[in-house]
Structure 1
């Protein structure tokens, strides 16, 4: 991954102001559509667009709804029955606010990450993406009340919308992430929303194939080295970002999540115990493959290359001016990946997704 485009941590206070402004609102609107504002403002600030954040929020305000009413308190004794219950969004948020007030945020994250990973498809992958943006800020800029509260909101949203994928059959292994995404079968009925499409999933290619060591027979599935898992996760984010350029016409908005969801997992790895890195890769692959299966078109489309001499900063400035939350977040991931193909993919999102500003 390309770290050359990462900007310095925000010292203006804009992100903290934006998060405080947003925390009176819920994570959804119109029943289940996600509130993307916390993720988008984090990306805007990170890439030097802090002066326009409050104007962007003023425009986005029409899409925000108040935090829903409390239902029944989530406790250490009843959390299992509350998992995946969207009526409990406010209850889950309050639970994680209590947890992060009483313990270090890394400890809370490490405890709940493996519990939540099986439901990574929750809310069309938006909860894990929100957590990834938050953890990036906590790692880069340190913790304070608004940032830790944002983690509580992200984890609470994920727990309330927790959605495991249906049982999946392992299909023929693929040697690389790009080949694995190409081998994912499209769902047959693409007329419904993501929940209806995910219900049709039956199996994914095995990726990455597990290396066999001298100490473990070939019939077993060896444990994965954490550094190997991280490298493969970087490969997956790169492949999904590059693939968007040719396949985005199938669903320009939804297909961004094939890249932004695994990138959220990648951003979270440094805050997690290393023994969680391999299962994190497996979950990220499932999320990326699920979105690919649900929305990829039958054939790729021709697309222009990124203009020569166009810098990553200029591409992100175009995304910020475009204003769409998905375009901003996808371009943020494309800059993480780096290189002309990723920039071309970012420009493709600007071309295909309707502007907001």
Structure 2
């Protein structure tokens, strides 16, 4: 059984999610100790439990994991056979983190896999938004032949959640290596999403206007979408991404913080990614590492995060690969060993 230290470096939920994905792909059991040991609320949270249950359902595995556990053992009973799964998230926890755990499974499925998620949030602090997965991660993966769709039927905002999502994964066979260097940026896309309860306050438009004021130095054409959606409670978020080099940054709205401040912060973060000459933003780089391990390749990012170092540690436990993380050149390369 693979032994993993859940407090290694970044020491967050990514260690668990990466382990679950790779356990399902390889059939290898694992044990993680010290899960989120250094966090204010150590152990498994609800969204971690739902990721465990999702992979357990896909691999027909029983699990007795519960909230607060700091140790977990997982032994997949069988290789991936499911064609449909339903996931219930009883809180406003991040739906995107659960989706990210499931996406790599496309490498092993023989038929399309349909996932329905009821509950959870589409905009959460410390997690990518679901539209980030739609408009940044999936287009990047498409460069390695990955095929999948994510449809948002209903957005979910903190603290009530209530998202409804449908995801379809297609078999991902014989993927080509993924090599990403920044070419050029000719356009910028901004999407601001708010609950209909905030329409009178023009929250979506104000986030966009604030972001535009920061992005003027780029002198690029900016495509804008302000969207108001039905949701439980109220909330908002903004995503900024570029093309044809795909860089992205997103921020959820937050009680007590103005729409203008949210928009400006997202734009400043995005501008920093553009100025770094990266081919992928630092958030995407972390998420692409499993796919680099499966397909091989090299990517240039804005900086090498502790998330990336932690992911390399975890992936190398499951697969015969070696990562090279060059902090000076800001590149991540993976080769089979």
Is TM (by shorter chain) over 0.5?
no
Report which of the two has the higher share of helix: 1
Report which of the two has the higher share of strand: 2
Which structure ranks higher in relative contact order (CA pairs < 8 Å, sequence separation ≥ 6)? Answer: 1
TM-score by length of 1: 0.28
TM-score by length of 2: 0.29
